[in-house]
Amino acid sequence: MAVYEVVSGLSFAGQNLSSREFSQTRFVDCDFSQANLTSVKLTEIECERCNFSMARLRGASLHDVRFVECKLLGIGFNEINPLILSFGFERCVLSMCTFTGMKLKGTLFKDCRIEDGVFEQTDLLETSFAGTDLNRTVFQNCNLSKADFTGACNYFIDPTKNKLKKAKFQLPEALALLKAVEVVIE
């Protein structure tokens, strides 16, 4: 088991951290809002209760990165390095984040709040959105096969424009899948 260096309570807000490398580090209560994280390399990283609002991640490499109770506002995840990519989110707030064109097979979005998110042409095979609030989040031309939406709420997914084979949903929220085909349920 890796021994993590703990970095706690620091503010990197607005700082230029581009091209830096961090590995086996646990960031707790840190502020990365509006930080320039262009081409940063994060390997085996845990972020707890950190603020990444409006951080720039163009070309960043995220390998084995876990976000827990973090705030991520306006992040273009689709700009990160697609070749080195594995991350997950638990109990995070992700507002106005973009995941267009990404391959996110098996990614965890557990008990999160994803508001105004964009998943277009995204491979979400076996991804878990369990317990997640997906208010105003767009799913367009996505592979949601075997995705887990148990306990998820406020989603609108058009089954005619997304692959949903063997995806898991729960009632009564699953009735939202019928909105796109304009079925009336009484």
Q: CA 6 → CA 1, 26, 47, 57, 89, distances in Å?
A: 15, 5, 10, 22, 19
End-to-end, the C-alpha distance of the chain in Å comes to 54
Closest-CA residue to 140 (of 107, 169, 118): 118
Residues 74-130 have pLDDT tens digits of: 999 999 999 889 999 999 999 999 999 999 999 999 999 999 999 999 999 999 999
CATH architecture of 1-74+83-88: 3 Solenoid (2.160)
- Of the two residues 1 and 171, the one the predictor is more confident about is 171
Tens of pLDDT, residue by residue over 11-30, are 999 999 999 999 999 999 99
* Angle, vertex CA 116, rays to CA 8 and CA 133, nearest 5: 75
Q: How confident is the model at residue 3 (pLDDT cuts 50, 70, 90)?
A: confident
Residue 2 is predicted with a pLDDT of: 63
Q: Is the pTM of this model over 0.95?
A: no
Quickly count: other Cβ atoms within 10 Å of residue 71's Cβ.
18
The confidence score (pLDDT) of residue 185 equals: 67
Please give the CATH topology (third level) of the domain spanning 99-186. Pectate Lyase C-like (2.160.20)
For residues 154-166, give the mean pLDDT.
94
Fold: same for 1-74+83-88 and 99-186: yes
Instruction: Give the residue extent of every domain in the chain.
Output: 1-74+83-88, 99-186
**Conformation bin of residue 141: beta by default, left when phi > 0, alpha when psi is -120 to 50:** left
Distance, in Å, from the CA atom of 170 to the CA atom of 151, rounded to the nearest integer, reads 7
